[in-house]
Amino acid sequence: PLRDLFAATFFLFFGLQTNAGALAAALPLALLLGLITALTKVATGWFAAGRLGVGTLGRLRAGAALTPRGEFSIVIAGLGAGAGMAAGLTPLTAAYVLVMAVGGSILVRVVEPLWRGRRARGAATR
């Protein structure tokens, strides 16, 4: 319970430090970073699940499940901003985590229906 309390306190403090007006300026770069990391996370999940002999859909699910994870970025940004490294790092990190949380969660929900729809269309054309 204390771990969860401290985690919630950390995220609340990080959110209060973030200038909401600066999120819009950081959004294009956050979207680009989100796309790149989503592709690498899906590839990592694909490779790791493939090594275990998992089928195509399971490999896609494994990769999609990795995409909404970005909390470690907040920790790194918090350390960097605390050290005075870059003032724009905090809004970029907040925008990135929001993009990954929303986009990754959507990807997790749609990967299986998209795959099944693609397979059904492929079977219908044969």
Which of these, 23, 46, 36, lies nearest to 70 by C-alpha position?
36
Query: What percent of the chain shows pLDDT beyond 90?
Result: 24
- What is the rounded CA–CA span in Å between residue 66 and residue 46? 10
pLDDT tens by residue, 26-48: 899 989 988 998 999 999 999 99
Specify the higher pLDDT residue, 67 or 125: 67
Q: What is the pLDDT of residues 72-110, one digit of tens each?
A: 666 666 676 666 666 677 788 888 888 888 888 899 898
What are 42's two structure tokens? 């899906």
